[in-house]
Structure 1
Amino acid sequence: MGSPLGSPLGKHRRPAIDVARGLALVAMAAYHASWDATYFGLAGFDLLGDPLWLAARTAILSSFLLLAGIGLVLATRGGLDRGRFLRRLGRVAAGAAAVSAASHVLFPDSPIFFGVLHHIAVASVIGLAFIPLPAALTLTAAAAAVLAGTTLSFPPFDDPWLRWIGLTTVAPDSNDFVPLLPWIGGVLAGIGLARLWPEMGDGMTVTGRAGRALAWSGRHSLAFYLLHQPLLFGLAWAAAQIVPVELPAVRDFQAACVASCERAGVASAPCAANCRCVRSELARNGLWEGFVANRLSERERRGLEDAAAACRKP
């Protein structure tokens, strides 16, 4: 997304900022492709536990939010165009609603209720209040937001209506959760940096096919964000149907499941079919990755039990 609310149009646009958005989009697409491959059993990336993957997600998300803050300052250099701001805000909000609706269908046990688009929409409105403030004050607020969001937690914020703020004691079940705290720190940091360096990217030109392609992607970042994941998800699904790959984790699960089933006195063939069914149900409900990493929540464990019960039905 970079800054779906955008930077100035036409001759006032800064191509270097667009290129930065384009690079962030490429990194995000690579991460999502890895997630999709793992989801369909085509790869075995430990996206939830490997420190490198966790650091990659943090870096990619932080870059988007930083650019969102920078874009907000650039878009209001000549004063706030309320109509233009509200139109773009509406597009981001509509995109966020579409993501939530699709996730409820695809991942009913872990839907996206406050992902990155939801965050950027809310943070952009809050960010307007910081644009006229001194950059040092905004950067201090950014640091405070990160500190509070990473060190504080209170049970009242576990309420479904308050989880979007952050400060929860238990992370909610969601495939993309970007709460206001600590992540608004990235948007505020972008605002502060753009205020400190108003000439950021000014006068820089973009050359070469790769640079122009990145700049074009950066100019259409919201559309890129909304379209790339359905495309990648579909390609991963098709690849899994055409060239099924049995990963070690899948083989180990199947072997252990069948052995346990046979010890209960069930024949081998029905056991194998039942275990394949359970594996498919886990993948369909977005539980496979957490199951393999032994990080299922209590709610997800109930989902596992429901999947096993459904597969036992004749």
Structure 2
Amino acid sequence: MSAIGITPEQGLARTSRRPAIDVARGLALLAMAAYHASWDATYFGLAGFDLLGDPLWLAARTVILSSFLLLAGIGLVLATRDGFHPGRFLRRLGRVAAGAAAVSAASYALFPDSPIFFGVLHHIAVASVIGLAFVRLPAPVTLAVAAAAVLVGTTQGFAPFDSPWLRWIGLTSMEPDSNDFVPLLPWIGGVLAGIGVGRLWPGLGEGVAVSGPAGRLLALAGRHSLAVYLLHQPLLFGIAWTAAQLMPAQTPAIRDFQASCVASCERAGVARATCTANCGCVQSELARNGLWEDFAANRVSERGQRGLEEAVAMCRKP
């Protein structure tokens, strides 16, 4: 799943929070939920969004993810502005790490071929530790390092970093199969940029009042963003699954696949009813294994080809 994540709550005392930043985090959560809902709908064949190929969708993912990382960096500056408190930092880090472990465990169970081994929560946990080295440095230095991280991470790739032990760093020569891969490079550039912004404008969001039901709701979500992250996707995924059971998907891509598959099957002398059932089974298997999106967009990888062959073999069984 080309999944998107969130910035966890920053561990500040209730009286020292800045509601405007909570609202910004809440808006990012809303955008993330819309993206994940689109992913879920595509996964279950309820929609045909080209999330991995359409430049607009790719740009949306980049903007949403960057906004969370930027807010994580700003939050780290705010959390340490009165000095570093090891206990508070470690409690927050523990919550994020536990959330990352839960996401990985669930993804290995649901998507064993494309699990989340270093997603956004993993990234934020590691970047928060690294970021401590920058929260007292001059902002121009931190912003320069952020720019360098983005430049190196987006232009360089080396085969040794494809190793399962090193790919979390980035610099891979090929992107690994994962539903949410947020390697250290280039994405730590977002966290460092947030630290730089927080250092340049220490009063960011201070004194801005939040009013109205929508503003208060967004601020509430922003204050509890880790919980929202961990709960929203299972909820959306369940809703999409239920909708797929109640309303069999008939997107143009699925209709085209069904028509082509059934026609090919009938030319082999198989009865139309059997062909229709088998082709529907193949499409469902592709969707269940997270391969339908790439297949519908004509981006079938070697893993996808194996998955297609396995789906066809399974669906032909009596």
Q: TM-score if structure 1 supplies the norm length?
A: 0.97
Task: Give the whole-Å Cα distance in 1 for the aligned partners of 2:7 and 2:242.
Answer: 31
| Pick aligned residue for 1:55 from 33, 48, 59 | 59
The answer to whether the aligner puts 1:22 opposite 2:26 as a matched pair is yes
Are residues 1:258 and 2:262 paired?
Answer: yes
SS in 1 for 2:48: coil
In the alignment, the residues of structure 1 paired with residue 11 and residue 282 of structure 2 have an alpha-carbon distance, to the nearest angstrom, of 48
> Which letter does structure 1 place at the counterpart of 2:168?
W
Q: What amino acid is aligned across from residue 39 of structure 2 in structure 1?
A: W
What residue is the counterpart of 2:193 in the other structure? 189
1:104-146 per-residue CA deviation (whole Å, 9 max, x = no partner) reads: 1211211111111111011111111111111111000000000
**Cα distance, 1:202 vs. partner?**
0.9
Q: What do residues 191-243 of structure 1 show as CA deviations (whole Å, max 9, x unaligned)?
A: 01100111111111111111111111000000000000011111111111112
Alpha-carbon distance in 2 for matches of 1:245, 1:270:
19
Separation in 2, partners of 1:116, 1:265: 50
CA distance in 2, matches of 1:126, 1:147: 18
Match of 1:135 among 136, 139, 147: 139
Q: How does 1:96-135 map to 2 (within 5 A)?
A: 96-135=100-139
Matched residues in 2 for 1:120 and 1:20: separation?
Answer: 18
Q: Specify the code of the residue in structure 2 equivalent to 1:170.
A: M
Whether 1:246 aligns to 2:250 is: yes
**Against the structure 1 CA distance between its residues 7 and 84, is the aligned structure 2 distance closer, same or farther, given a 3 Å change threshold?**
closer
What is the one-letter code of the residue matched to 1:236? A
Q: Distance in 2 between matches of 1:2 and 1:99?
A: 12
- Tell me the SS of whatever aligns to 1:41: coil
Could you say if the C-alpha distance between residues 204 and 279 of structure 1 is closer, same or farther in structure 2, counting changes exceeding 3 Å? same
Distance in 2 (alpha carbons) for counterparts of 1:267 and 1:12: 70
Counterpart-to-counterpart distance in 2, 1:126 and 1:296: 38
**Cross-structure match for 1:223:** 227
Aligned residues: CA RMSD: 1.2
Candidates 139, 163, 168, aligned match of 1:164 = 168
Q: What's the offset of the Cα at 1:170? A: 1.0
Q: Say whether the 8 Å CA contact 1:2–1:218 is kept in structure 2.
A: no
Deviation at 1:257, TM superposition (A): 1.1
Contact 1:5 1:85 in 2 (8 A): no
1:67 to 47, 71, 81: 71
Report the Cα offset of residue 244 of structure 1: 2.1
Distance 1:267 1:311 in 2: 15
Unmatched 5+ residue regions in structure 2? none
Q: For 1:279, which of 277, 283, 291 is the aligned residue?
A: 283
Deviations 1:165-187, CA, capped at 9 Å, x for gaps:
11111111111111111100000
Check the 8 A contact 1:109/1:300 in 2, yes or no.
no
**C-alpha distance in structure 2 between counterparts of 1:256 and 1:13, whole Å:** 57
Unpaired segments of 5 or more residues in structure 1? none
Matches within 5 A, 1:59-98: 59-98=63-102
Task: Compute the displacement of 1:5 (Å).
Answer: 5.0
State whether residues 11 and 89 of structure 2, in contact with CA within 8 Å, keep that contact through their aligned partners in structure 1. no
Q: Distance in 2 between matches of 1:33 and 1:2?
A: 15
CA contact (8 A) 2:6 2:121 kept: no
**Structure 1 residue identity aligned to 2:121:** L
2:181 aligns with 177
The alpha-carbon deviation at position 78 of structure 1 amounts to 1.1
Cα offset, 1:263, TM superposition:
2.1
Q: How many residues align?
A: 314
Q: Are the aligned partners of 1:5 and 1:92 in contact in 2 as well (CA < 8 Å)?
A: no
1:154-173 alpha-carbon deviations (Å, 9 max, x no partner): 01111111111111111111
> Is residue 220 of structure 2 the alignment partner of residue 213 of structure 1?
no
Q: Distance in 2 between matches of 1:50 and 1:310?
A: 32
State how far apart, in whole Å, the 2-side matches of 1:296 and 1:147 are.
29
